[in-house]
Amino acid sequence: MAMLRASYDSVLCADTLEIRNSRIAVGCYELEKQDGSSGTGGIGPERRKGCVWILDKQDLKPLSVWNHESSGVLDLRWSGKAEDMLILACADGSVRVLRHSESTLEVKHTLHLESSLTLSVDVNEEAADVVLSFSTGSVRALDLNMLKPKWQAEDAHGYEAWGGTCDSRHASIAFSGGDDGSLKLWDMRCSADLGPVAVNSRAHQASGVISIQPDPLHDNGILTGGYDDHIRFFDMRSLKRSAEPPVQLEGGPWRIKIHPDDPRYILVPAMYAGAYLLRRDDARNGANQICHYGGHQSIAYGACWMDSTVDPLSVATCSFYDHAVHVWSAKNRASLDEGSP
């Protein structure tokens, strides 16, 4: 069971959110058609627009907003080198760096990389890398400090590259997953022309791979989410074999967010199925569902842990067409501690 604690209307369609200290950054993306209606696609003239909200995590009070009338925000990350910096993956094929100062958000850098959509962004704080994936199927890495290209795989995937992920345990390693159904491991010290180090072309039974997360419980482990509605567990040393039993959900795991202090807990926004809290043990036994949140009236894309000392399992999630940000937590902490549903 889950209990709603607070909510906020983001006005535009909300698709990503990240927390840093007392602030939640919410990214939004919307297509405005010529007749003034909004949506995500269709025939006829359309204009992309987006925004970023900075909300106070205590009461979701808006602290500042940045609006962009020609491009939406599809993913974002706080920069690890400076807590007031946000890195945005934008729908015009660019990456933007925003600086938050008191009540303002201003663009510090913009780098246009492709004419397609920038679908995801991830940051490796230790190696100062930014990894981006694109709707063309390409994956790129930038130097975080200089915001200059340092590595690219133009044809990483045959269709959309839904996710590109850094691995802080292995500074030169990146993972990518695509709509072609493949999961790939790359060594960014080598030219992408040499190909990936390892490939699983059917990581999710030929369904698209949409989210990837290094596994802090196992040094060489990774978790992936796919359009087959499963979370799967792999070992990067043997990428073609499952390392643990998969977890079946009722929707596609758009993001996988592992608890920053207790890696046994996993938060998953599962698109049309709402959001899930899962719990693992220290052995390789997969994960059990401990809480499901069905309070969203639309597609749940974004999620983050609230970093709360009062309630360690308090989370925030956001949903698309109803442009809603919800803060919620499990009702029964005792059952969570015992690992029961």
What is the three-class DSSP state of 333? Answer: helix
pLDDT mean over 312-319? 96
Residue with tokens 């993956």: 89
Rounded distance between C-alpha atoms, residue 313 and residue 260, angstroms: 11
What is the three-class DSSP state of 135? Answer: coil
Rounded distance between C-alpha atoms, residue 131 and residue 168, angstroms: 12
Instruction: Provide the domain count of the chain.
Output: 1
pLDDT mean over 240-256? 97
Model confidence at 341, pLDDT cuts 50, 70, 90, reads: very low
Q: What is the mean pLDDT of the chain?
A: 92
Residue type, 64: S
Query: Which pLDDT score is estimated for 42?
Result: 45
pLDDT digit string, tens, across residues 11-50: 999 999 999 999 999 999 998 866 555 555 444 457 889 9
CATH of the domain at 90: 2.130.10.10
Task: Report, in angstroms and rounded to the nearest whole number, the Rg of the chain calculated over CA atoms.
Answer: 19
First-to-last C-alpha distance (Å) of the chain = 8
Rounded distance between C-alpha atoms, residue 72 and residue 52, angstroms: 9
Domain extent, residue 19, equals 2-338
pLDDT digit string, tens, across residues 196-245: 999 999 999 999 999 999 999 999 999 999 999 999 999 999 999 999 99
| pLDDT > 60? residue 255 | yes
Query: Which pLDDT score is estimated for 35?
Result: 59
pLDDT digit string, tens, across residues 82-140: 668 999 999 999 999 999 988 899 999 999 999 999 999 999 988 899 999 999 999 99
Structure tokens at 60: 């979701």
CA atoms within 13 A on the CB side of 91: 21
199 contacts 176 by C-beta, under 8 angstroms: no
Query: Which pLDDT score is estimated for 39?
Result: 57
Q: Which helix (H) or strand (E) holds 173?
A: strand 173-177
Q: Quote the pTM value.
A: 0.93
Residue type, 85: M
Task: Give the count of beta carbons closer than 10 Å to the beta carbon of residue 155.
Answer: 12
Query: Which pLDDT score is estimated for 334?
Result: 43
pLDDT mean over 290-317? 94
